[in-house]
Amino acid sequence: MDETWKTLAVSEGISLGTGVLSALCTMGTMERYGMLRQPPLSPPGWVFPVVWTGLFALMGVSAWRVWQRSGGKRRRRALLLYGLQLAVNFTWPILFFRLGAYGPAFFWLLLLLALVSMMASRFWEIDPLAGALQIPYTLWLLFAAYLNLGIWLLNG
């Protein structure tokens, strides 16, 4: 396999692997989620894994594009932010779905949004397409924050 494809596979593995591990930690919680009072526009539970799979795939491609660029310190900082936001992302569904800690999960999600915004900005400086690939993720996180807040207020 060509080195380019190997690094893409590793990048996708890290990103999608984070999503899979998080999903494993929250397995069996969608039934409880379905029983909560939901704010308007709440999607059915099956939508979440579909959307998140696509978003994690985009994250992997985006990080890979940044990795492929030269940039030394700037690139390292951007990828550090990427890793940090992945760790924060991994924790949010555990707080929300597994623990039902809707208030703390909301504030954790705001932290995630801030990290993703910084990461997307750094990615954009290095590779505009890598930054643009973060737009769907950012929009979904905004929607998730609305859902999280609504569920917290309706069920807290």
The reply to whether 41 falls in a domain is: no
pLDDT in tens for each of the 156 residues of the chain?
688 899 999 999 999 999 999 999 999 888 888 899 999 999 988 899 999 999 999 999 999 999 999 878 999 999 999 999 999 999 999 999 999 999 999 999 999 999 999 999 999 999 999 999 999 999 999 999 999 999 999 997
For residues 46 and 97, what is the distance between their CA atoms, to the nearest angstrom?
A: 14
Residue 95, domain member (yes or no): yes
- Alpha carbons 132 and 128: distance in angstroms, whole number: 6
69 Cβ partners below 8 Å, 6+ apart?
A: 75, 126, 127
Would you say residue 35 lies in a domain? no
Question: According to the model, what pLDDT value does residue 110 have?
Answer: 98
**Residue 147: inside a domain:** yes
Look up the domain containing 89 and give its range. Answer: 3-26+50-155
In a domain, 128, yes or no: yes
Number of domains within the chain:
1
Query: What local confidence, expressed as pLDDT, does residue 129 receive?
Result: 98
Residue 141 lies in a domain: yes
Domain-located, residue 126: yes
